[in-house]
Amino acid sequence: MTTARPDEQGHFGPYGGRYVPETLMEPLRELEAAYAEARRDPAFRDEFARLLRDYVGRPTPLTFAGRLSERLGSRVWLKREDLCHTGAHKINNALGQALLVKRMGKTRVVAETGAGQHGVASATVCALLGLECVVYMGTEDMARQAPNVRRMRLLGAEVRPVRSGSRTLKDAINEAMRDWVTNVRTTHYLLGSVLGAHPYPAMVRDFHAVIGEEARGQVRAQAGSLPDVLVACVGGGSNALGLFAAFFADPVAMVGVEAGGRSSRPGDHAARFLDERGGAAARPPEPPPAGRRSESVVPPSLGSGSAVGVLHGTCTYVLQDEAGNVLPTHSISAGLDYPAVGPEHALLRDEGRVRYTAVGDDEALAAFHLLSELEGIIPALESAHAVAWVVKDAGSLAGKLVLVNLSGRGDKDLGIIESAENAAKVDGGQRTQRG
Amino acid sequence: MGRIGERFRRLREERRKGFVAFVTAGDPSLERTVEVAGEMEKAGVDVLELGVPFSDPLADGPIIQRASERALSRGTTLIRVLEAVHRIRKTSDLPLLLFSYFNPLLRFGLPALAREAAAAGVDGVLVTDLPPEEAGGWLEVARDAGLDTVFLAAPTSPDERLRRVAGASRGFVYAISRTGVTGERDALSDDARPLLSRIKALTREPVALGFGISTPEQVAAAASVADAVVVGSALVRFQEEHPHGDVAGQVTWLRSAI
Ligand SMILES: Cc1ncc(COP(=O)(O)O)c(C=O)c1O
């Protein structure tokens, strides 16, 4: 299902829109028109559904996490996006957009990637459909997600290292947008989350809506009712919206888990909705006055570095300094290590429909091990953030039916886990010596 | 009419083509930027664009990216750029256009920014990532403060968009000579001439042509189709190599073929 949002200009309340250089305005309009036409075309929908089934391996199962449930005192179900071809939900969107690229007659695709999952998904669908594929990736991410770099190259994609700025996802998006604006007549930008200028946030959400549509039917059939709570990690926010969208009309609570990183100090985390007290903000900030867009007022600020702003084509919460420059972020999970968040999430937060919270690197690591040992499922570090919140808030979830989006598998993260744990050992050792 | 409009009126009267120079404010320092403005004025620059450095300049190529990084690392912020404009205004009547990404303006607060920029002596503002569709609130406060608003026209813009861009522009329309980011190029793009004739058929606003223009030959070719020529990266690169060099001499050289 899809919600009625955004409005015709791509606004989610005061958020969203199209904040891009003029060169991209007409290509975005063309993309919007091509997408609107494709989604009405049964042939397009059938082809997408067929490939989701025969190639991606959908529907993905819903698995009852029995031992974890017993440990926590709640009933935890996992939506198994880790079992999608290529190991994460990202391929739903990559496939949808690549089919659209064929339809638009473009021949070249550029993409950004953080964890490498979207890059791998893009390289994969481009191989499948015979498209040229260039993936931009920060050098810091290339180092920490090396297995995915090798996979992309095997799949025939060109991986271009990005050495500017923080050398992570944000900078990869900058570079992909520079390529796109230069080669826009032949090239499609295959953006990997519910970010960017209209129509991307809505289109990417819709291509992932299959997650929630399946899960809603599965949980009723297998658990006998709707869940009490949905939980998903939020980097840009695509796996979260893919799950949530099917449940908006239901009396179901929703929790989005951001990367709390090392601490709540600016620069130490990637939690765009974290307020200055270090907790997830319970109340919306002063909303922009009705009828007037956020650009006409001083934007609300949450402290801890987050304020409403514009980055990568959309108006949303952005981690930034007092002068409006984007802050560096940190997360152990490359896929959550990004200073802005999808504009629809910003509105859902203000409305209170979704509650956003953050868990730190350590909590995510612990959850990574817990799920591996109790359920035999090694989660992606991104997805481990969602699991970590279920562990952390086990008290309030007692007896509840909790549905977690397990957005990806963790094979790509073994290197990070090892170096994080070696670093912890060294740290611990020094502390012991000093103490 | 503001300084920018006045300048273009005079250019038209004298049947001359304008020269618009871009520098990144604060590169290598704001003190130097203030000096450069004075030197530019003496060299006959018609409008000076002051780039506000931003952490994520996604419409810029490597030269201006590096300049922004240098300026930011020296602590250049929008407030300090406005202070520098104030200092430039003490001795200079050069038309000044602030060239910025939207987020620093948004963070400053648009009404306050419009007021303070106008008070400091800024004549107009161009926001790279703000198309007319999203500019409603900004246009209002900018106009109230007496600031010109310059918008970009691109080779990919169909006529109906060009009309909209021209309608929102005051001062001049900035035509982008080719798709892509800022940076030096070997030749003027084939996109430039058709774009200029399409805009000219739609508006009486003056049109400046920029992006990639970096040699006297390209300046001359651009001047043959537009009312003014914008040179950015070539001057920024010169300053990168010679932070205290004779940038005015570069301007004289670049204009020599008009
Ligand atoms: C497995 C996995 N989950 C989640 C994310 C975060 O993205 P999003 O918030 O768009 O789902 C990523 C991004 O790389 C990912 O690889």
Please tell me if residue B5 touches chain A, with a CB cutoff of 8 Å. no
Q: Mind listing the pLDDT tens digit for each residue in A384-431?
A: 999 999 999 999 999 999 999 999 999 999 999 998 888 888 776 554
| Cβ pair B102:A185 closer than 8 A | no
Give the residue from A29, A47, A50 showing the smallest Cα distance to A38.
A47
Counting atoms of ligand 1 from 1, which one is nearest the CA of A87? 1
Contacts with B136 from chain A: Cβ below 8 Å: 293, 295-296
Contacts with B165 from chain A: Cβ below 8 Å: 22
Q: How far is the CA of A233 from the centre of ligand 1 (A)?
A: 7
Neighbouring residues of B192: CB distance < 8 A, sequence distance ≥ 6: B155, B175, B177, B178, B209, B221, B222, B225
**What is the pLDDT at residue A303?**
59
Low-confidence ranges of chain B (pLDDT < 50): none
Please tell me if residue B54 touches chain A, with a CB cutoff of 8 Å. yes
Which of helix, strand or coil describes residue A428? Answer: helix
| Cβ pair A324:B108 closer than 8 A | yes
Q: How far is the CA of A161 from the centre of ligand 1 (A)?
A: 20
Which of helix, strand or coil describes residue A79? Answer: strand
pTM of the model: 0.95
**What is the pLDDT at residue A251?**
98
Which of helix, strand or coil describes residue A265? Answer: coil
Neighbouring residues of A134: CB distance < 8 A, sequence distance ≥ 6: A108, A109, A110, A111, A157, A158, A160, A179
Give, for all 435 residues of chain A, the pLDDT tens digit: 344 799 999 999 999 999 999 999 999 999 999 999 999 999 999 999 999 999 999 999 999 999 999 999 999 999 999 999 999 999 999 999 999 999 999 999 999 999 999 999 999 999 999 999 999 999 999 998 999 999 999 999 999 999 998 899 999 999 999 999 999 999 999 999 999 999 999 999 999 999 999 999 999 999 999 999 999 999 999 999 999 999 999 999 999 999 999 999 999 999 999 864 444 443 444 444 333 343 333 455 665 689 999 999 999 999 999 999 999 999 999 999 999 999 999 999 999 999 999 999 999 999 999 999 999 999 999 999 999 999 999 999 999 999 999 999 999 999 999 988 888 887 765 544 433
Q: Mutation target for A interface from B52, B55, B70, B115: give the one with most A CBs within 10 A.
A: B55
3-state SS of chain B is CCHHHHHHHHHHHCCCCEEEEEEECCCCCHHHHHHHHHHHHHCCCCEEEEECCCCCCCCCCHHHHHHHHHHHHCCCCHHHHHHHHHHHHHHCCCCEEEEECHHHHHHHCHHHHHHHHHHHCCCEEEECCCCHHHCHHHHHHHHHCCCEEECEECCCCCHHHHHHHHHHCCCCEEEECCCCCCCCCCCCCCCHHHHHHHHHHHCCCCEEEECCCCCHHHHHHHHCCCCEEEECHHHHHHHHHCCCCCHHHHHHHHHCCC
**What is the pLDDT at residue A112?**
98
Q: Mind listing the pLDDT tens digit for each residue in B137-168?
A: 999 999 999 999 999 999 999 999 999 999 99
Please tell me if residue B31 touches chain A, with a CB cutoff of 8 Å. no
For residue A21, give the nearest of B135, B152, B158 by CB distance. B152
| Cβ pair B181:A178 closer than 8 A | yes
Report d(CA A235, CA A193) in Å as an integer: 8
Counting atoms of ligand 1 from 1, which one is nearest the CA of A88? 1
Report d(CA A307, CA B211) in Å as an integer: 32
Residue from A90, A152, A204 whose mutation best tests the ligand 1 pocket (most atoms within 8 A of CB): A90
| Cβ pair A295:B110 closer than 8 A | yes
Terminal-to-terminal C-alpha distance of chain A: 58
Question: Cβ distance A385 to A255 under 8 Å?
Answer: no
Please tell me if residue A153 touches chain B, with a CB cutoff of 8 Å. no
Pairing assessment for the beta strands B152-153 and B173-176 based on DSSP bridges: parallel
Please tell me if residue B51 touches chain A, with a CB cutoff of 8 Å. no
For tokens 């049947």, the residue is B15
Report d(CA B219, CA A428) in Å as an integer: 64
Report d(CA B59, CA B34) in Å as an integer: 25
Pocket of ligand 1 (CB under 6 A): A 88, 90, 114-115, 117-118, 193, 233-240, 335-336, 380, 382-383, 407-408
Residue type, A252: V
Counting atoms of ligand 1 from 1, which one is nearest the CA of A115? 14
Residue from A118, A368, A382, A385 whose mutation best tests the ligand 1 pocket (most atoms within 8 A of CB): A382
My answer on whether omega of the bond before A59 falls inside 30° of 0, hence cis, is: yes
ipTM of this predicted structure = 0.97
Decide if A90 is catalytic: yes
Q: How far is the CA of A237 from the centre of ligand 1 (A)?
A: 7
Q: Mutation target for B interface from A11, A191, A295: give the one with most B CBs within 10 A.
A: A295
Token pair of A164 as six digits: 């500017």
For residue B107, give the nearest of A21, A22, A307 by CB distance. A307
- H/E stretch holding A309 reads strand A306-311
**What is the pLDDT at residue A424?**
82
Decide if A112 is catalytic: yes
Q: Which residue of the set A69, A74, A81, A90 is catalytic?
A: A90
Residue nearest to atom 10 of ligand 1 (CA): A238
Q: Which residue of the set A122, A304, A333, A407 is catalytic?
A: A407
Report d(CA A229, CA A398) in Å as an integer: 12
Report d(CA A251, CA A39) in Å as an integer: 28
Q: Which residue of the set A32, A81, A112, A363 is catalytic?
A: A112
Please tell me if residue B161 touches chain A, with a CB cutoff of 8 Å. yes
Counting atoms of ligand 1 from 1, which one is nearest the CA of A240? 11
**Cα separation values, B98 from A334, B55, B148, B183, Å:** 36, 17, 10, 19
| Cβ pair A18:B134 closer than 8 A | yes
| Cβ pair A296:B141 closer than 8 A | yes
Q: Which residue of A has its CA nearest to B128?
A: A21
Counting atoms of ligand 1 from 1, which one is nearest the CA of A234? 9
Give the residue from B234, B237, B241, B240 showing the smallest Cα distance to B211.
B234
Dmax (CA) for chain A in angstroms is 69
Dihedral (C-alpha) A271, A273, A278, A283: value to the nearest 10 degrees?
-170
**What is the pLDDT at residue A305?**
86
Report d(CA A41, CA A28) in Å as an integer: 20
Token pair of A43 as six digits: 């042939």
Q: How far is the CA of A235 from the centre of ligand 1 (A)?
A: 6
Pairing assessment for the beta strands B228-231 and B124-127 based on DSSP bridges: unpaired
**What is the pLDDT at residue B251?**
97
Q: Which fold has domain B3-255?
A: TIM Barrel (3.20.20)
Report the half-sphere exposure of B104 (CA within 13 A, side-chain side): 25
Please tell me if residue A23 touches chain B, with a CB cutoff of 8 Å. yes
